[in-house]
Amino acid sequence: MNHVRKLWNNSEPAVAGWMQTSSALQAETLASCGYDAIVLDLQHSVTDFAATISMLAAIESKGAEPFVRVQWNDPGDIMRLLDAGAYGIIAPMIETRAQAQALANAMHYPPMGQRSFGPRRPVLRYGPDYVARASDTIVSLAMIETRRGLDNLADILSVEGLDGVFIGPADLAMSLGSMPVPESDDPMVIEAINDILAMAKAADKRVGIFCGSGEAARARISAGFDFVSTTPDLVMLATAARRSVAVARGQEVND
């Protein structure tokens, strides 16, 4: 079974890394740092499909679950990534029940969905009876990050075969007329995030959120979120690099 699903079955949250860089070595390194999952961000990065395959394998080799935030809610891309070894899919900009249903259909084999058969890498992990177990090996999360998605949330949450929703706080804030930041202090954005959390829990769905730091992720876990990302890799790289340069030059370090 998917490690993230095992955590959820034990009423435990999952902590994920977030990758915007394109490197199997970096993916393997991050996956060895204690994350439950690593999310490859294909929407806002230059990572191509060939690099993605290598990164998925590298993450899996260290015991973390390889997740992908896809470029768009495209069934063909989603099925291809599942066959390549992605065990979690986060689809951006889901705004309607029909879009959420399309995501669920792409994730599951018939009769639950419409996924085409061709599990090249998953069968290596789960064996020849993979098809019978496929739905237990994957996680599907629809991103709620627009006012329209918020307005249609109840319908989206009603889709069978969808594990839950994942909040994109920056886009959600921007859609609500606020600044696009991961941790907004705008009361309207805070209320919207709290409403999504409450509605998802009431519908017995999982709920995740993008976080800009470990501290923010800890706070979201305390609030009841099931899946949280932590500081993205590019932010960690830039922060560590600036600190190293400042120390080398004898300058004051502001952590």
Structure tokens at 26: 């970096």
Q: HSE-up of 103 (CA within 13 Å, CB side)?
A: 33
Write the CB contacts of 154 (distance below 8 Å, at least 6 apart in sequence). 199, 203
- Helices (H) then strands (E): counts for the chain: 13, 8
> Could you confirm whether 44 is annotated as catalytic?
yes
Catalytic choice (1, 33, 44, 238): 44
Helices (H), 46-176: 49-61, 75-83, 97-107, 122-126, 130-133, 147-151, 153-157, 169-175
What is the secondary structure of 137-163 as a DSSP string? S-EEEEEE-SHHHHHTHHHHHT-TT--
> What are the angstrom distances between the C-alpha of 120 and each of 85, 90, 130, 131, 237?
8, 21, 11, 12, 33
Residue 167's beta-bridge partner residues? 144, 209
Query: CA triplet 4, 6, 8: central angle to 5 degrees?
Result: 70
Which residues are part of the catalytic machinery? 44
